[in-house]
Amino acid sequence: NGQGTWMAGEITDYILDQQMGFALDGDFNSVEVDFAIEAGGARCVVRQRANIRFKGVAKIAGLLAKGRIRAQMLADLKKLKALCELG
């Protein structure tokens, strides 16, 4: 759809059923993302921490699109949470 970019990286942290972390790098930014999964009774709590560093001209675009990026991350987190609750 022309609204994405490819990123490559590595898993930086992994504990089965508890947490997972990634370090990703692309043309426009670098990202460190950590997910923590916690049992909360009948619910599953998924927490996400992300550190996004934009490169070059993308730094300006990142400032302008901050709200949109945050909304997309929250939508992705809801999808991940739904997947975790399937099991």
Predicted TM-score (pTM) of this structure: 0.63
Contact 30/24 with Cβ under 8 angstroms?
yes
pLDDT (tens place) for every residue of the chain, 87 residues total: 567 778 899 999 999 989 999 999 998 889 999 989 888 777 778 888 888 888 887 777 777 777 787 788 788 878 877 877 776
Between CA 25 and CA 52 the distance in angstroms is 10
